[in-house]
Amino acid sequence: MKGNDHSSKFLLTHREREVFELLVQDKTTRDIAGQLFISEKTVRNHISNVMQKLNVKGRSQAVVELIKLGELKI
């Protein structure tokens, strides 16, 4: 294994993971933004990026896929 293979093991960036971990705790976009000290637009961007990576439409579908892939635990 090469030294930089670690990042390819995970689909999500650290920040995307943080956003989705809060999302599954039923936090709103505003709650997540406040907790992570980022704008609501940034939160929405992270969610959109993840939905594109997974090729899904909607947050709940993204959550289901991430759980299936073992990327997210609830």
The pLDDT tens digits of the residues spanning 6-59 come to: 444 678 999 999 999 999 999 999 999 999 999 999 999 999 999 999 999 999
In 3D space, the residue among 37, 34, 26 whose CA is nearest the CA of residue 63 turns out to be 26
Delineate the domains of the chain, giving CATH numbers in brackets. Answer: 14-69 (1.10.10.10)
Say yes or no to pLDDT of 4 above 90: no
What pLDDT score does 74 carry?
A: 82
pLDDT-derived band at 3, boundaries 50, 70, 90: very low
Rounded to whole angstroms, how far apart are CA atoms 56 and 30? 23
pTM: 0.84
What pLDDT score does 9 carry?
A: 65
What pLDDT score does 58 carry?
A: 96
Q: Is the dihedral of CA 48, 40, 13, 20 positive or negative?
A: negative
